Structure 1
Amino acid sequence: MDQADAAPPHATRADDPLPRPVLRSAVELYLDLHAHPELSGHEHRTAGRLAARLTELGCTVTRSVGGGHGIVGVLDNGPGPVVLLRTELDALPVTEETGLAYASTVPGVMHACGHDLHIAAVTGAVALLAASRDTWRGTLLVVGQPEEETLNGARSLLEEGRLYERFGVPDAVLAQHAAPLPAGTLAHAPAGGPPLMAGSVAVEAVLHGRGGHAATPHLNVDPVLMAAATVLRLRTAAAEATAPAEQAVLTVGSVRAGERGNVTPDHAELSLTVRAFTQDALDRLTTAAERVVRAEAAASGAPRAPGFTVTARSPALVPDPELTARVRLAHERLLGLGRVLDLSGSSATEDFPHFAAGGVPVAYWMLGTTGAGPWRTARAGGDPVPPNHAPGFAPDVRAALPVGIAALAAAARQVLAPRPAEGRGTDS
């Protein structure tokens, strides 16, 4: 089923079974996190709120995993499979324009990607599983990952934090992500299709000029002009480095230079990302970008070579086919066939693929967040639905959060071992 043809959500069977205290606690946490977002690398309060809730639910919690604000909660329920639920902690440098009563109270910072919704859903799923421990066996790992938006958090947890060495190699890693699809729906990558998300390379480039008075341009080497020429040439280079059928994107997201209009600065900084679905395309685009940066610096007579530093990499996200099929079946039983959609590959990127290190199976799906009213308006040609990273991104919490909670719990149960009926009720 194509996501564009999905009907607006109605009441779902996933909403009804949720115990009121579980949903209430998840909503309260969501509202608090949304109002108090924290940027990548600064998620101290957010990590503390997640740690406190997991502790209340009976998890053994370890903080500061990976040298940052990483959180790992362990709910041990006897011998059996190990399932890891991942959620992100960080927000974005975006000024919120939703007008919500619980809008961000931090100037210039917003949960514009739905990570607050992810955290709330994970805690709700853990609450459901903790309350039904007589029905399953195994270990539930809950990971609160910082710095997803900079693509550094997952590798820090796995490498510096030695996540799998310390807490066990999971039999499955599960995660979901908010998306501007109808609230109350889920979306999976179809079997045999392209990667669900593109791989990416993040780069910081520094162009060196010769600063001076704006009235004497003949004595200066202007890095602002150098940067402008570089940005324009990069767009052409991206087109030349990829075949027409390839899906690849090169974006310059930030240009920083100078402080005043009457002073020529001595350097300019560019932040750019390359996105593609194959490693070969990523390598070609990154090489082309570096060639352009160096060539424009040379053409401008830069006094020294530019800097070109790769700050983060992430491979394309390819969910495990077998695990995805099992999880999708659980979601179809939960919501019905019409509420579980097929999703084509997206040029969005994230560092979740690192959790598949060593062949660990991963499953990842999208959680619809758009309410029925905005969805119908957009479909009728009205205002488009604000996407992730937009100032107006506003999930319909009442419709999306219950489904997100139930979806995670149902997916985890596909991996955790069922407890024999005769053994139920004997353990606390």
Structure 2
Amino acid sequence: MNHYHQFSALALAMLLSFGSQAKPTPQQLEQSVSQSLPQLEQLYLHLHQHPELSYHEKQTGQRMAAELKRLGFDVTDNYGGYGVVGIFKNGDGPTIMVRADTDGLPITEQTGKPYASTVTTKDKDNNTVGVMHGCGHDIHMTSFIGTAEQLVKHKSAWKGTLMMVAQPAEEVGGGAKAMLKQGLFSEFPTPDHILGLHVSASLPAGQVGITPGYALANVDSVDISVKGKGGHGAYPHTTIDPVVLAARIVLALQTIPSREVSPLAPNVVTVGSIHGGSKHNIISNEVKLQLTLRSYDPDVRLQQIAAIKRIVKGIGISVGLTEELLPSVYVHSDETIPSTYNDPQQTTKISDSIRSAIGSENVVEAQPVMAGEDFGLYGLTPEKRPITIFWLGGVEPDKYQRVIESGKQLPSLHSSQFAPDYPLTIKTGVRATTASVIDLFNGK
């Protein structure tokens, strides 16, 4: 009888031990996140009402650092600018990095929401501009803190090192570069897996979209200076008109995606700005163009740049410009953003985890987009760690359905009218990310 009781006690202890290591069920995780949601909503509203532009995220960084410290993380702030790195060690196991971006945009919010941002600031030209989280970074940060909280709360379900990275200056393509340059993967544990999310303005809240392989594009900003020989508008034959040259260049550049790059290799060449001249009857000496180039394949990016330089030089030569007056091409390498390639194997695992957490009906395969995200840089270091970023639906579901049925357009990201359904969006983001990280820790 005593042996039986001893065996029963041992069996009970083993069962309790096993239970303490078990991953929370989807229902348990949903309940746990729901309990935290009121505090997360307050955090979201604070972040939404206090946006800061790229390279100025001082208060935002301090709030992220304070939230992670509250949860027991070892925190390093002011990293790579106003970036924050939180480390939570929980035994032997892999290192998993979760990243959120923190900067706002120079947009005056026009959502009409009672919690709308009223922040204004001076831009680099000393103009007063509104500031808004028009790209959903406030959602990203709130989901990030909610995920950290759930992973600490359920730390018995995983072993390893959790690395939470709040990254500044994503909108200008500088934050990831700065954090990596300072030593993100050498001063801290090098992650084995890297995960992020981005709000979607074209998916209903409660859903997640995920793309294996190329998900976001290479992005380059390019300036072209088109010079000429100015003069009187009545005597164009005595001039070399840079406005006409610029017009020829704009049209010729469109042959790069349509005739030079393979139609199987997506790419875009957009002339977003053209400025020249001062008066109706004056032929100016110069016209300036500003371009954005987008692609997935790094070789296509190089092909685009080489083609632009060749085309503008050829057009300049064709009208008799001398060497010193030939059009010049300047690529803003400091703003270059590489494409984001979601590691297919890791992305499939994460997709399975999210399906399990929020239901297969709420997970869709998203199409690649030509927008840029410096998240891709984390997968291009010498360590070549696998990365995955997924889309987090943000549109209020009933509104989404009405707009789709009407054939109208939803407000896009970077729109002054973009207003996500934040309670459901945050809840979904926390559940999806938490489940994915636990499974990655456990090798699933």
Q: Same fold (TM over 0.5)?
A: yes
Q: Give the match for residue 317 of structure 1.
A: 340
Q: For the Cα contact (< 8 Å) 2:358–2:432, is it kept in 1?
A: no
Q: Does 1:96 align with 2:121?
A: no
Q: Give the match for residue 303 of structure 2.
A: 284
Post-superposition offset of 1:145 = 1.5
Q: Does 1:346 align with 2:369?
A: yes
Give CA-to-partner distance per residue, 1:43-75, whole Å, 9 cap, x none.
222222222222222222212323x22221112
Give CA-to-partner distance per residue, 1:27-53, whole Å, 9 cap, x none.
222222222322222222222222222
Q: Give the match for residue 270 of structure 2.
A: 251
Q: Does 1:198 align with 2:217?
A: yes
Q: Give the match for residue 89 of structure 2.
A: 76
Larger RCO (alpha carbons 8 Å, 6+ apart): 1
When the two structures are superposed, what TM-score results if normalisation uses the length of structure 2? 0.80
3-state SS of paired residue (1:196): strand
User: Matches of residues 258-273 of structure 1 in structure 2 within 5 Å?
Assistant: 268-273=287-292
The one of 196, 199, 222 aligned to 1:175: 196
Q: Give the match for residue 52 of structure 1.
A: 66
3-state SS of paired residue (1:38): coil
Q: Larger Cα Rg: Structure 1 or Structure 2?
A: 2
User: Matches of residues 122-161 of structure 1 in structure 2 within 5 Å?
Assistant: 122-158=144-180, 160-161=181-182
Give CA-to-partner distance per residue, 1:111-145, whole Å, 9 cap, x none.
22111110111011111112233332221111111
Alignment length (residue pairs):
401
Q: For the Cα contact (< 8 Å) 2:157–2:438, is it kept in 1?
A: no
Distance 1:281 1:374, change over 3 A: same
The one of 123, 132, 135 aligned to 1:110: 132
* Separation (CA, whole Å) in 1 of partners of 2:190 and 2:53: 29
Distance 1:277 1:377, change over 3 A: same
Give CA-to-partner distance per residue, 1:151-173, whole Å, 9 cap, x none.
23222211x21110000110100
Name the % identity.
33
3-state SS of paired residue (1:176): strand
Farther-moved stretch of structure 1 (172-181 vs 227-236) = 227-236
* Separation (CA, whole Å) in 2 of partners of 1:329 and 1:166: 32
Q: Give the match for residue 351 of structure 2.
A: 328
* Separation (CA, whole Å) in 2 of partners of 1:139 and 1:271: 44
> What's the RMSD between the two structures over aligned residues?
3.0
Post-superposition offset of 1:88 = 0.9
Q: Does 1:18 align with 2:33?
A: yes
When the two structures are superposed, what TM-score results if normalisation uses the length of structure 1? 0.83
Post-superposition offset of 1:216 = 9.5
Give CA-to-partner distance per residue, 1:371-423, whole Å, 9 cap, x none.
112211222124321222222222111211100111111111112259xxxxx
Q: Does 1:408 align with 2:433?
A: yes
Amino acid at match of 2:141: I
Q: Which structure 2 segments of 5+ residues have no match?
A: 1-25, 121-128
Amino acid at match of 2:33: L
Q: For the Cα contact (< 8 Å) 2:109–2:116, is it kept in 1?
A: yes
Q: Which structure 1 segments of 5+ residues have no match?
A: 1-11, 419-428
The one of 25, 37, 44 aligned to 2:51: 37
Amino acid at match of 1:146: P
Farther-moved stretch of structure 1 (342-351 vs 101-110) = 101-110
Q: Give the match for residue 424 of structure 1.
A: none
Q: For the Cα contact (< 8 Å) 1:369–1:397, is it kept in 2?
A: yes
Post-superposition offset of 1:217 = 8.1
Distance 1:241 1:124, change over 3 A: same
Give CA-to-partner distance per residue, 1:64-106, whole Å, 9 cap, x none.
323x222211122232211100111122333333222222323
Q: For the Cα contact (< 8 Å) 1:61–1:71, is it kept in 2?
A: yes
